[in-house]
Amino acid sequence: MAVRLPLEPVTATAAPPVVDRAAWPAACEELLVGPDGPVPFLEVLEGRRQLLAYFLVRHDGQPPEGQCEGCTFFVAGVQRPEHLHSRAATAAVLR
């Protein structure tokens, strides 16, 4: 269990299930949908070891002022992902 300020317990219920080695290759074959169509999970990693996925809250039809401030701040900070790439991480913004 993790703790966040102001020292409230936080449970990790959103973690994916743990699978054995035999199940991992099948999961890697699953397709995700990218802007150009389906993409195998391993291709999303772009040869790196880690994937940083951020779920963007987008309010369609709203001007920039009507978008989520936290999401806008985060996405503005990862427009140049060289820092993440140098640490073997790929960033993905999901909607």
pLDDT tens per residue across span 9-68: 555 555 566 778 888 777 766 667 777 888 887 888 889 999 888 888 888 888 888 888
**Beta pairing partners, 31:** 40
For residues 67-88, average pLDDT: 85
Q: Is the pTM of this model over 0.85?
A: no
For residues 78-92, average pLDDT: 86
In the chain the beta strands, taken as DSSP E runs, fall at 2-4, 8-10, 31-34, 37-40, 50-55, 89-94
Separation CA 93–CA 22 (nearest Å): 29
